[in-house]
Amino acid sequence: MGFFANRKAGIYYNRAVAHLLQEDADAAMEELKRVISLRPDHAQAHYNLGLIYQHLGKNEEAIKCYEQATRIMPDYALPYNNIGAMKIESELYEEAIEALKRAVSLKSDFSEALYNLASAYEYVADSTHAAEVCRQLLRIEPEHPYAHKLMSIIEDSQTEVVRG
């Protein structure tokens, strides 16, 4: 990859970010595709393209972009979280758990991924792991807006199991 191609990809990427900030998804998508055509190894371009696809409800395309971002940059936690969240929406909870565990292993204080992971565990009725992850989240972010509610649901489900 030559200097000018790298520079051009950088310009396209900056323009894509500007379009995203202006909420112009179509223009941002075109710029990101240009970046990827010049720099197929640009993980952030794949990730941001995934965000656009996810926003547009094109989940399969979004997941492909996120997966490509993780192939390029395996220690990039954000795409794993997004994959996990989308898998939860699709009720593919075991796949969600795997992606979210990877996100948390890469960034242990990633509160959004911790919340999603606790939720995924709760969906598969694994209240032990759900509670453990929720407690980890509350240690990091004691005032998390949804963690207390989720913890209450988990504790209620554990109480019902004990009574049952």
Q: How many domains does the chain have?
A: 2
- pLDDT at position 162 is 52
What CATH code is carried by the domain that includes residue 155?
1.25.40.10
156 and 83 in a common domain: yes
Report residue 5 as tokens: 């191609």
- pLDDT at position 154 is 83
116 and 88 in a common domain: yes
The last residue of a domain, from among 22, 38, 73: 73
C-alpha dihedral sign at 145, 148, 150, 153: negative
60 and 79 in a common domain: no
pTM for this prediction: 0.89
93 and 65 in a common domain: no
Q: What is the pLDDT of residues 56-90, one digit of tens each?
A: 999 999 999 999 999 999 999 999 999 999 999 99
The amino acid occupying position 74 is: P
- pLDDT at position 42 is 96
- pLDDT at position 153 is 85
- Residue ranges of the chain with per-residue pLDDT less than 50: none
- pLDDT at position 64 is 98
Exposed e or buried b for every residue in 49-72, given b needs 16+ CB within 10 A?
bbbbbbeeeebeebbebbbbbbeb
The last residue of a domain, from among 47, 73, 99: 73
Q: What's the domain range around 148? A: 75-164
Q: Are 116 and 84 in contact (CB under 8 A)?
A: yes
C-alpha dihedral sign at 28, 29, 33, 36: positive
Give alpha helix (H) positions in 22-92. 25-38, 43-55, 59-72, 77-89
Burial grade of 10 (CB within 10 A; 0-12, 13-18, 19 or more): middle
- pLDDT at position 93 is 98
